[in-house]
Amino acid sequence: MNITIFIKPKCLLTVAVALLLLVDPSLIFRWLGLPLGVDGMLLGRLLGATYLAVGLGFWFIHSLEDLPRRDSLLMVGCDLVCTGLVVQALLAGAMNPLGWGLAAVYLGSALGFGWCASQAAGKPAYA
């Protein structure tokens, strides 16, 4: 199976979420039951800018040579931390049940990058 089957949809989803966050961060957070103040709007836009950079970086991944195992494992760790944070917010009652979908998306992303890491086993990370 080709790595782009996972990476290209991940890229499109990440860029779409980034653009929504840049335009109106409160939109996504309201869907999850998390109202934002002025400080949350700023942090949401900063998150959007970060997602945009990461999403555009995903677009240039065409093969395992473009995604070293180390980078895949870093994304696994990041996505698992995000999954844990979302589940923690859900269990604390801070998010509505739609948050379970967000947790599933982060977990699915972690599994996808785990698959990428397993495919890149033994490939060196290029400096």
Provide the sign of the torsion angle of the four alpha carbons 64, 57, 55, 79, taken in this order.
positive
- In tens, the pLDDT along 51-87 reads 999 999 999 998 888 888 899 999 999 999 999 999 9
Sign of CA dihedral 76, 101, 56, 84: negative
Residue 4: what pLDDT? 85
Over residues 8-30, the pLDDT tens digits come to: 999 999 999 999 999 999 999 99
Q: 38-59 and 4-23 are packed helices; what angle lies between their axes, rounded to 10 degrees?
A: 150
| Domain ranges across the chain | 1-62, 64-127
Cα R_g (the chain), whole angstroms: 16
Q: What is the pTM of this model?
A: 0.86
Tokens read off for 84: 């844990």
* pLDDT reading at 127 higher than 60: no
Say if residue 91's pLDDT is above 70: yes
pLDDT of residue 66: 85
User: CA 109, 114, 117, 118 torsion: positive or negative?
Assistant: negative
